[in-house]
Amino acid sequence: MSEDRPQINLITPPVIDLITFPDQLASVMDAVEIACLRLSLATKDPDDLGRAADACRLIAHARDVAIVIENHVAFVERHGLDGLHLTDGGRHIRTLRKDLGPDAILGAWCGVTRHDGMNAAEAGADYVSFGPVGPSPLGTGDLAPHDLFQWWSEMIEVPVVAEGALTRELVASLAPVTDFFAPGPEIWTSEDPAKALKALLAPIL
Protein backbone atom coordinates (compact mmCIF):
# COMPACT_ATOMS: atom_id res chain seq x y z
CA MET A 1 0.00 0.00 0.00
CA SER A 2 1.33 3.44 -0.92
CA GLU A 3 2.58 5.44 2.06
CA ASP A 4 0.38 8.43 1.19
CA ARG A 5 -2.80 6.35 1.23
CA PRO A 6 -4.82 5.69 4.38
CA GLN A 7 -3.76 2.76 6.51
CA ILE A 8 -6.09 0.16 7.98
CA ASN A 9 -7.16 -0.30 11.59
CA LEU A 10 -9.05 -3.58 11.56
CA ILE A 11 -11.86 -4.10 14.10
CA THR A 12 -12.73 -7.58 15.35
CA PRO A 13 -16.30 -8.84 15.41
CA PRO A 14 -18.09 -8.45 18.77
CA VAL A 15 -18.25 -12.23 19.23
CA ILE A 16 -15.47 -14.56 18.12
CA ASP A 17 -15.02 -18.33 18.07
CA LEU A 18 -11.49 -19.02 19.24
CA ILE A 19 -11.44 -22.30 17.30
CA THR A 20 -12.07 -20.69 13.92
CA PHE A 21 -11.40 -16.96 14.25
CA PRO A 22 -7.59 -17.00 14.54
CA ASP A 23 -7.26 -18.65 11.12
CA GLN A 24 -9.84 -16.25 9.69
CA LEU A 25 -8.00 -13.26 11.15
CA ALA A 26 -4.67 -14.51 9.82
CA SER A 27 -6.17 -14.89 6.37
CA VAL A 28 -7.44 -11.31 6.40
CA MET A 29 -4.12 -9.95 7.64
CA ASP A 30 -2.23 -11.87 4.99
CA ALA A 31 -4.53 -10.51 2.27
CA VAL A 32 -4.38 -6.80 3.19
CA GLU A 33 -1.70 -4.83 5.01
CA ILE A 34 -3.05 -3.93 8.45
CA ALA A 35 -1.58 -1.20 10.66
CA CYS A 36 -3.47 -1.98 13.85
CA LEU A 37 -5.98 -4.51 15.17
CA ARG A 38 -8.71 -3.36 17.56
CA LEU A 39 -10.29 -5.86 19.93
CA SER A 40 -13.93 -4.80 20.10
CA LEU A 41 -15.65 -7.61 21.99
CA ALA A 42 -19.13 -7.64 23.49
CA THR A 43 -18.27 -9.96 26.36
CA LYS A 44 -17.38 -8.56 29.77
CA ASP A 45 -16.15 -11.92 31.06
CA PRO A 46 -12.47 -11.45 31.98
CA ASP A 47 -11.52 -15.03 31.11
CA ASP A 48 -13.12 -14.80 27.68
CA LEU A 49 -11.52 -11.41 27.07
CA GLY A 50 -8.13 -12.68 28.17
CA ARG A 51 -8.22 -15.73 25.92
CA ALA A 52 -9.33 -13.62 22.97
CA ALA A 53 -6.64 -11.03 23.65
CA ASP A 54 -3.92 -13.68 23.77
CA ALA A 55 -5.10 -15.42 20.59
CA CYS A 56 -5.41 -12.20 18.60
CA ARG A 57 -2.11 -10.81 19.94
CA LEU A 58 -0.24 -13.85 18.65
CA ILE A 59 -1.72 -13.42 15.17
CA ALA A 60 -1.11 -9.67 15.10
CA HIS A 61 2.38 -9.58 16.55
CA ALA A 62 3.53 -12.39 14.25
CA ARG A 63 2.81 -9.92 11.44
CA ASP A 64 4.24 -6.85 13.21
CA VAL A 65 0.74 -5.45 13.65
CA ALA A 66 -0.10 -3.45 16.79
CA ILE A 67 -3.13 -4.54 18.81
CA VAL A 68 -5.32 -2.37 21.05
CA ILE A 69 -8.37 -3.23 23.14
CA GLU A 70 -11.49 -1.17 23.66
CA ASN A 71 -11.77 0.38 27.13
CA HIS A 72 -10.38 -2.51 29.24
CA VAL A 73 -7.24 -0.82 30.55
CA ALA A 74 -6.21 -3.68 32.84
CA PHE A 75 -5.79 -6.02 29.86
CA VAL A 76 -3.15 -3.92 28.11
CA GLU A 77 -0.18 -4.81 30.30
CA ARG A 78 -1.60 -8.12 31.52
CA HIS A 79 -1.86 -9.54 28.01
CA GLY A 80 0.97 -7.73 26.26
CA LEU A 81 -1.22 -5.47 24.13
CA ASP A 82 0.00 -2.26 22.56
CA GLY A 83 -2.65 0.12 23.80
CA LEU A 84 -6.21 1.15 24.35
CA HIS A 85 -9.08 2.43 22.21
CA LEU A 86 -11.48 4.57 24.22
CA THR A 87 -15.12 4.94 23.20
CA ASP A 88 -15.94 7.83 25.56
CA GLY A 89 -14.30 10.63 23.61
CA GLY A 90 -10.98 10.10 25.39
CA ARG A 91 -11.99 11.80 28.62
CA HIS A 92 -9.31 9.98 30.63
CA ILE A 93 -6.44 10.19 28.15
CA ARG A 94 -4.13 12.18 30.44
CA THR A 95 -4.53 9.77 33.36
CA LEU A 96 -4.16 6.71 31.18
CA ARG A 97 -1.03 8.11 29.57
CA LYS A 98 0.54 8.38 33.01
CA ASP A 99 -0.58 4.84 33.88
CA LEU A 100 0.42 3.12 30.64
CA GLY A 101 3.46 5.17 29.70
CA PRO A 102 4.56 7.12 26.63
CA ASP A 103 4.82 4.13 24.30
CA ALA A 104 1.25 2.87 24.67
CA ILE A 105 -1.15 3.59 21.82
CA LEU A 106 -4.13 5.63 23.05
CA GLY A 107 -6.95 6.31 20.63
CA ALA A 108 -10.33 7.94 21.11
CA TRP A 109 -13.62 7.55 19.30
CA CYS A 110 -15.33 10.94 19.29
CA GLY A 111 -18.51 10.24 17.32
CA VAL A 112 -19.29 13.21 15.11
CA THR A 113 -18.07 15.88 17.53
CA ARG A 114 -15.17 18.08 16.52
CA HIS A 115 -14.95 19.50 20.06
CA ASP A 116 -14.45 16.05 21.63
CA GLY A 117 -11.85 15.24 19.01
CA MET A 118 -9.88 18.40 19.74
CA ASN A 119 -10.03 17.74 23.49
CA ALA A 120 -8.76 14.18 22.98
CA ALA A 121 -5.97 15.37 20.69
CA GLU A 122 -4.89 18.06 23.16
CA ALA A 123 -4.91 15.50 25.98
CA GLY A 124 -2.42 13.35 24.09
CA ALA A 125 -4.40 10.87 22.00
CA ASP A 126 -2.36 9.13 19.32
CA TYR A 127 -5.34 9.18 16.99
CA VAL A 128 -8.94 10.36 16.94
CA SER A 129 -11.74 8.39 15.32
CA PHE A 130 -14.98 9.80 13.90
CA GLY A 131 -18.04 7.91 12.74
CA PRO A 132 -20.26 6.50 11.59
CA VAL A 133 -19.51 7.81 8.14
CA GLY A 134 -22.37 5.87 6.55
CA PRO A 135 -26.01 5.25 7.50
CA SER A 136 -26.09 3.16 10.68
CA PRO A 137 -28.75 2.25 13.26
CA LEU A 138 -26.22 2.85 16.02
CA GLY A 139 -26.07 5.97 18.17
CA THR A 140 -28.11 9.03 17.30
CA GLY A 141 -28.10 8.40 13.58
CA ASP A 142 -25.90 11.44 12.98
CA LEU A 143 -23.10 10.96 10.46
CA ALA A 144 -19.53 12.22 10.57
CA PRO A 145 -19.48 14.37 7.41
CA HIS A 146 -16.78 14.65 4.81
CA ASP A 147 -16.03 18.24 5.77
CA LEU A 148 -15.20 17.17 9.35
CA PHE A 149 -12.40 14.97 8.03
CA GLN A 150 -11.30 17.62 5.57
CA TRP A 151 -11.10 20.27 8.30
CA TRP A 152 -9.26 17.90 10.63
CA SER A 153 -6.70 16.85 8.04
CA GLU A 154 -5.98 20.49 7.23
CA MET A 155 -5.90 21.86 10.78
CA ILE A 156 -4.87 19.06 13.19
CA GLU A 157 -1.70 16.96 13.13
CA VAL A 158 -3.08 14.06 15.18
CA PRO A 159 -4.09 11.24 12.78
CA VAL A 160 -7.80 10.79 12.10
CA VAL A 161 -9.70 7.53 11.56
CA ALA A 162 -12.92 7.07 9.58
CA GLU A 163 -15.20 4.24 10.64
CA GLY A 164 -18.77 3.01 10.76
CA ALA A 165 -20.80 1.67 7.82
CA LEU A 166 -17.96 2.06 5.34
CA THR A 167 -18.67 1.43 1.66
CA ARG A 168 -16.38 1.34 -1.34
CA GLU A 169 -17.78 4.75 -2.35
CA LEU A 170 -17.06 6.25 1.07
CA VAL A 171 -13.53 4.83 1.01
CA ALA A 172 -12.93 6.52 -2.33
CA SER A 173 -14.43 9.81 -1.14
CA LEU A 174 -12.69 9.98 2.24
CA ALA A 175 -9.28 8.63 1.19
CA PRO A 176 -7.81 12.11 0.51
CA VAL A 177 -8.87 13.45 3.93
CA THR A 178 -8.34 10.61 6.41
CA ASP A 179 -5.27 8.84 7.73
CA PHE A 180 -6.90 5.51 8.59
CA PHE A 181 -10.01 3.48 7.83
CA ALA A 182 -11.37 1.14 10.50
CA PRO A 183 -13.44 -1.58 8.85
CA GLY A 184 -14.83 -4.53 10.76
CA PRO A 185 -18.59 -5.13 10.77
CA GLU A 186 -18.55 -4.54 7.02
CA ILE A 187 -16.57 -7.73 6.36
CA TRP A 188 -17.07 -10.31 9.11
CA THR A 189 -20.54 -11.47 8.01
CA SER A 190 -19.11 -12.41 4.62
CA GLU A 191 -18.22 -16.02 3.83
CA ASP A 192 -14.80 -14.73 2.79
CA PRO A 193 -13.83 -11.72 4.97
CA ALA A 194 -10.46 -11.32 3.27
CA LYS A 195 -12.12 -11.03 -0.14
CA ALA A 196 -14.74 -8.68 1.30
CA LEU A 197 -12.05 -6.41 2.77
CA LYS A 198 -10.13 -6.26 -0.49
CA ALA A 199 -13.36 -5.35 -2.31
CA LEU A 200 -14.22 -2.66 0.25
CA LEU A 201 -10.75 -1.12 0.04
CA ALA A 202 -10.38 -1.46 -3.73
CA PRO A 203 -10.17 2.31 -4.27
CA ILE A 204 -6.96 2.53 -2.19
CA LEU A 205 -5.30 -0.83 -2.85
- Name the band, by pLDDT with cuts 50, 70 and 90, for residue 1: very low
User: Among residues 184, 146, 151, which one has the least CA distance to residue 165?
Assistant: 184
pTM: 0.95
Residue 140 pLDDT > 80: no
Give the chain's mean pLDDT.
94
CATH numbers and ranges of domains, the chain: 7-204 (3.20.20.70)
Q: What confidence score (pLDDT) does residue 139 get?
A: 63
DSSP state letters, 69-120: EES-THHHHHTT--EEEESSSSTTHHHHHHHH-TTSEEEEE-TT-HHHHHHH
pLDDT of residue 150: 97
Give dist(CA 109, CA 65) in Å, integer. 20
| pLDDT (average), residues 2-24 | 92
CB 151 within 8 Å of CB 114: yes
Residues 31-77 have pLDDT tens digits of 999 999 999 999 999 999 999 999 999 999 999 999 999 999 999 99
pLDDT reading at 203 higher than 60: yes
Q: What is the pLDDT of residue 138?
A: 64
pLDDT band at 2 (very low <50, low <70, confident <90, very high): very low
